[in-house]
Amino acid sequence: MIDVDKAIATVVKTGKVQFGTKKAVENAKLGRAKLILLASNIPRNVMEGIMYYSRFSNVPVVIYKGTSIDLGAVCGKPFTVSALTVREPGDSDILKLSEEAREKPQKSKEMSEETDA
């Protein structure tokens, strides 16, 4: 398990990232991203659009545990960040999140099946 906040701060400093939902959609459509991070309070329709295009281009999407204010603070920005697109990881090990993200949907799917019963 990696320290997500530390990994985000490192990738912002040493890697190539883009901020914003429009850039996230664009990079998801074109498959240019290595990872997309979304704040937990991102509007549902925006999140679904990014997830939709990410599936086609095999770009992993991770939901950050905090709000857009928290994500902006972790990135060291004086504004909210709803979406963070990682194009190059730099010195960060943030791409390990994509491995965890692939495992979690299966677990959450199992959990939702249990609650539906």
- Going from the C-alpha of 27 to that of each of 34, 36, 53, 99, the distances in angstroms are 9, 9, 9, 19
8 A C-beta contact, residue 86 and residue 101: no
pTM attached to this predicted model: 0.80
Where does residue 111 fall: left (phi above 0), alpha (psi -120 to 50 degrees), or beta otherwise? alpha
pLDDT tens sequence for the chain (117 residues): 578 889 899 999 999 999 999 999 999 999 999 999 999 999 999 999 999 999 999 999 999 999 999 999 999 999 999 999 999 988 888 888 777 656 654 433 333 344 444
For position 101, what pLDDT does the model report? 56
For position 78, what pLDDT does the model report? 92
Q: What is the DSSP letter of 90?
A: T
40 CB contacts (<8 Å, ≥6 apart)?
Answer: 63, 64, 65, 66, 67
Out of 3.30.1330.30, 3.40.640.10, 3.20.20.70, 3.90.1580.10, the CATH code matching 4-116 is 3.30.1330.30
Q: Nearest 5°: phi and psi at 110?
A: -65, -40
